Structure 1
């Protein structure tokens, strides 16, 4: 479905981003695996090696998407290496959970800078390239951005902002055949959720009608749909992958 397409996936050395990259490669895409700092380099290189061993094409590029120039350089590397940029997945994100009264300015700013400003930076530089021939931008939001969550004012604000940015940009670029959509995952089993206390996991499960947690493959499959021509008439949408958690 993505034969000869070039995709940049931010924060793709592990978790959902990694699974999206692997799924895209299986469907013919060439991918840029992005990691934020030197400490993540080995993980990113392992993903690249896994892709190359399976006969796919990939490179690993270090870039902190919260930094304007680094986001620009990330897009340039994709074009310089593969000759195009057709798909951008803004997946990079962090949490710094804390009750509002205890949350520090640094905890708030860091989450906003990566989760929200990072999406702006990558969309700004990526769209300038992609608008010439069209493509697909997929922004990773969260059900927390739709209904909030205790201890996550910073994260909820960033993910709600991603939704607003997605819808606004989708209107701006629709005439350029550049589609922009968002995915709002619910509780997806990953390194991030593995750190949560069991009591929180059990309480969360009670609010999921399907009665189980999601997996990264299920998010990646929605990303594949949005990246491909199967969704050629879909833009400005937020697709929840949450087992009915936020219906």
Structure 2
């Protein structure tokens, strides 16, 4: 009988358009050879133009989903995304205290289109409850500013952003510099060890789901037993290829291509830009 693949759990919101959220997470986990499982925290009405509505689930429903999966199947890594409210942040943080698997926290605050996905009242809960549970926290620069007040306008500010995030307790911080000019540069650090990750910036506006995809790819690597730097480097390569192969869907911003490495769907541009 076949040995089961590594088990990865996403705790996040549903994207009805399929580009981000648990849909992106599960596609990424499958593409990277792991078994994806889900705890749905919120349902959104969402498409390529934005988020038309969002409905958080009751904390009881989130808790029941988590217990159902973890108590029976178990997990090798957990990834969190949209948690919507302070109550859900606190609920999920308490549940994470009960698992020993590595945790990737994507502190989702707003969507690609600028729509709020986390209540302002949840900020303190993210800082004091969720970030301390993280093996790796993966904020973009807008999320860094929202959580810490640190504004980053150039690559030199990434260290300052990382220090601000690390002050809340995650073991590692991956500061995503995708909003800066030039190459897509990220900084991974635990406060003493630094890893700079660079990739060419592809001329493709269809990047919906990038953050979810990256965090899920990191979780998949950790579930396979990779170190944090190994998992993050592999995830960076995967998401860069997915961005290069992103495609138009609907009238707005289309998704990255989670299946870009499939033999039947190679991108026209490789992750290295060649």
TM-score after normalising by structure 1? 0.44
Give the structure with the larger helix fraction. Answer: 1
